[in-house]
Amino acid sequence: MKNNKIIILDFDRTLFNTDNFLIKIKYIFKKMGIAEKKFTTSYKKIKPYNLKKHLKRLNLENKNILNNFNTLFKNSYRFLYPDAIDFLKFLIQKKTEIILLTYGDKNFQNNKIENSNIKKLFNKIYITSKNHDKENIYKNILAKNKNKKVIIIDDLEENTKDIVKKIAHIQAIKIDRNSKNNKIFSKKRYYEVKNLDQIKTIISKL
Ligand SMILES: [Mg+2]
């Protein structure tokens, strides 16, 4: 039997150190002669981001290059934040339903998630290529589980603070890994934390 909570977890910058992963991608592009400025300008134009589209845009499609990226993707698990697995296991031990909800290109996201070796820890995984869809998915989950407490964990204000104002009953926790503040901030149905460990104490009280 599951408990009465459903946790909806974001992937990038919540469980996964996306910025460090990007540094590695940038480095591979640099070795191919693409300067940082050119990388960043072209990177920003691809939404949702997909490596193959990026290589195509810069006329860099060839197999040798893809091998470098494959090695990076295979090492995705190294980019999980140190508290990620422990937190997921904590939720499983408490018999909490866990949903992974991530925005991005399906292949690109799936490649990172698959190679992070965490797929089996989730009850369900959603990859949406429109960030706005997250709101609809929250609403659907809430509508299907009226007797449960639905809690979102995400690094973006638009997916946490703003959602609490738009959707009644839902609760949200914004995680800011770079925050200088070590204390938990709490307001009605809304929290701000620096790491997943802090969420353990919040969740037990919800
Ligand atoms: Mg995120």
Tell me the pLDDT tens digit for each residue of 144-153: 999 999 999 9
The whole-chain average pLDDT of the chain stands at 94
Whether the per-residue pLDDT at 68 is higher than 90: the answer is no
Tokens at 7, concatenated = 């946790």
Shared domain for 160 and 198, answered yes or no, is: yes
Shared domain for 118 and 188, answered yes or no, is: yes
CA of 154 to the centre of ligand 1 (A): 6
**Span 168-193, average pLDDT:** 95
Q: d(Cα 163, Cα 204) in Å, to the nearest integer?
A: 22
CA angle (75, 92, 163) in 5-degree steps? 85
Shared domain for 93 and 192, answered yes or no, is: yes
Shared domain for 84 and 72, answered yes or no, is: no
Shared domain for 61 and 130, answered yes or no, is: no
The string of pLDDT tens digits covering residues 194-203 is 999 999 999 9
CA of 31 to the centre of ligand 1 (A): 28
Tokens at 170, concatenated = 């839902």
Please say which residue of 53, 77, 101 terminates a domain.
77
The verdict on pTM exceeding 0.85 is yes
Q: Tell me if 134 sits within 8 A of 101, measured CB to CB.
A: yes
Shared domain for 145 and 95, answered yes or no, is: yes
Please say which residue of 77, 93, 112 terminates a domain.
77
Shared domain for 132 and 159, answered yes or no, is: yes
Shared domain for 155 and 96, answered yes or no, is: yes
**Span 25-29, average pLDDT:** 94
Burial of 51 (0-12, 13-18, 19+ CB in 10 A): buried
HSE-up of residue 67 (Cα within 13 Å, Cβ side): 3
Q: Tell me if 170 sits within 8 A of 163, measured CB to CB.
A: yes
CA of 130 to the centre of ligand 1 (A): 13
Give me the sheet containing 5-9, strands edge to edge: 124-128, 97-103, 5-9, 149-154, 171-175, 190-193, 185-187
CB-proximal residues (5 Å) to ion ligand 1: 10, 12-13, 155
Shared domain for 27 and 9, answered yes or no, is: no
Q: d(Cα 113, Cα 12) in Å, to the nearest integer?
A: 10
Q: Which domain holds residue 69?
A: 18-77
CA of 100 to the centre of ligand 1 (A): 11
CA of 9 to the centre of ligand 1 (A): 9
The string of pLDDT tens digits covering residues 109-164 is 999 999 999 999 999 999 999 878 999 999 999 999 999 999 999 999 999 999 99
Shared domain for 138 and 40, answered yes or no, is: no
Q: Tell me if 200 sits within 8 A of 90, measured CB to CB.
A: yes
Shared domain for 69 and 84, answered yes or no, is: no
**Span 24-38, average pLDDT:** 93
Structurally, how many domains does the chain consist of? 2
Shared domain for 68 and 159, answered yes or no, is: no
Backbone φ, ψ for residue 98 (5° rounding): -120, 125
